[in-house]
Amino acid sequence: IVTGEVVGHYRERRKLEGVSPVTIARELSLASSACKWAIGERFLDIPNPFEGRLISRADARAIKPRTRVLAESEQSTLLIALTQPARDMVL
């Protein structure tokens, strides 16, 4: 049975293995989504043990957000692929 304590131990073990906090959060987010699907689709009356445990507060503070600027070719490709309302929002 997966509990909040088990999720916390998993997160700490992965950190000791050298995995970045962002990767750990992605892994736990996937597991949380699967749990949410099971709860909704299978009408399970269980709590989601991953809720609020994707990343520790200390790790969240330590993460430096990246700013990504699209290259001109990427921007052109994106604009060609979008339909009109979305194209206007991107521009």
- At 34-91, the pLDDT tens digits run 999 999 999 999 999 999 999 988 899 988 888 889 899 999 999 999 998 999 888 8
Burial class (CB in 10 A: 0-12, 13-18, 19+), 69: exposed
1-25 pLDDT, tens digit per residue, is: 899 999 999 999 999 999 999 999 9
Reading phi first (left if > 0) and then psi (alpha if -120 to 50, else beta), residue 43 is in: left
- Model pTM greater than 0.75? no
